[in-house]
Amino acid sequence: MKEGSNYKIPKNEEKQHESGVIMKILIQNGRVIDPVAGIDKKMDLLIKDGKIIKIAASIKEKADETIDATGKMVVPGLIDMHTHLREPGREDKETVRTGLRAAIKGGFTAVCPMPNTDPPCDNQAQVKFLKEKAEENGIAEVWPIGTITRGRNGKALSEMTELKEAGVPAVSDDGDSVEDAGLMRRALEYASMIDLLVISHCEDKKIAGDGVMHEGYWSTVLGLAPIPAAAETVIVERDVRLAALTGARLHIAHVSTAESVDVIRQAKKKGIPVTAEVTPHHITLKDEDLKNYDTNLKVNPPLRSISDIKALKEGLRDGTIDVIATDHAPHLVNEKEQEFDHAPFGMIGLETALALSAALIDEGYLDWKALVEKLAVNPRKILRVPGGTLKEASRADVTIIDPGRGWVYSKESSESRSQNSPFFGRKLKAQVTDVISGGKIVLREGEIK
């Protein structure tokens, strides 16, 4: 059910929120994959009072709820470290509530909303607002990302210490690079002193200009203004060098070019503290796909060439790229129905991320253990937030996946408030069937509780 202007929580849903966690949940017969604990085998899992209390080959205990996971994967709850929830400021596109419902549908028990909202998340009050909104809904965790600069205007540093004290695990001016290299150096120095991750949106807008798609054969054929690969790679190079200079932890958002992958790979070999992410759409779609001028394919950074996509996949395979993150970016239908040049960048992606990423397994780039690392374990390690394991005594965040189940993504079934996806009507494989968040069953057989 989508949220509308007169939306009210259904009575049965309200009752579940008030009642708290189910006392005991037993998950049986699933293939448990926990890279942190070194587990990949058929096991049972017992949850009580929001914690995992037992994991064993066979558990014979009575439970309030039993889930038969035969033929399914049981993995730590996924986390999306790059989400746009649009609240505050553009609740017509998405709200914390609708965004978290889409996240749960996609298997994510936690998300990191980026700070390019109105107003931006550059102070403790904004962090508190987002956390309280998440608690109201009670279905997934929110780890807000703060801004690098005040107002996200690239002029003066935000109060990073206050942001960290409020609970942000990272800062970013996502949507824009910090144009001033000197200011970016000071941001990295400041962040390193308080052990805060810096997430860099790498785009030189003077190089990108008014471009709307990747510069190459297809931009020429389609007559659309190009964005050179160098617009990204120049800033990746700059920020990697600044990370080496300052010793700060740097994370490169939505990597899209082969050149950027090479820069990051060499930086890691030198021991520079840099990590990186790629989106599912950048490894699934190519610039040629824009030949029908579908504005739902207009994203920033743009969809790249086949050779770039291969480099991104190789980067995932060899560990150069640590994380798969959605860059879920909701926009209204009437905004996307403009001429290509005027339509906003971005597509939604929380509900399709797992299925699109699972294609990497069929293609031989990753196995299930590696995919779980990219979607559940590595983001938490990089952000230094708890979770990402099914060990006993850990918070019960669990995602159950049917790897062979085919399904069709539809507008009717989508939980996002926006519908800017090119994947509607597409047959996908690998579906999230059940999700437990903080010991509560929030998704059961594909339906939000």
Give the per-residue pLDDT at 22: 61
Longest CA–CA span in the chain (Å) reads 65
- State how far Cα 182 lies from the chain centre: 29
What is the C-alpha to C-alpha distance for residues 246 and 241, in angstroms, rounded to an integer?
9
pLDDT digits (tens, 9 = 90+) for 275-309: 999 999 999 999 999 999 999 999 999 999 999 99
Establish if 5 belongs to a structural domain. no
Q: Identify each DSSP E strand in 293-448 by its residue range.
A: 323-324, 398-408, 427-437, 440-444, 447-448
At 136 the three-state DSSP class reads helix
Are 373 and 399 found together in one domain? no
* Parent domain of 52: 11-74+394-448
320 and 342 together in one domain: yes
Looking at residue 20, its pLDDT comes to 54
SS3 56: strand
pLDDT score recorded for residue 23: 81
Answer yes or no: do 402 and 261 share one domain: no
pLDDT digits (tens, 9 = 90+) for 136-152: 989 999 999 999 999 99
Do the beta carbons of residue 144 and residue 126 sit within 8 Å? yes
Indicate which CATH number applies to the domain containing 401. Answer: 2.30.40.10
150 in the same domain as 128: yes
With a cut of 70, list the residues of the chain below it in pLDDT.
Answer: 1-22
pLDDT for 14 equals 35
**Could you list the active site residues?**
327
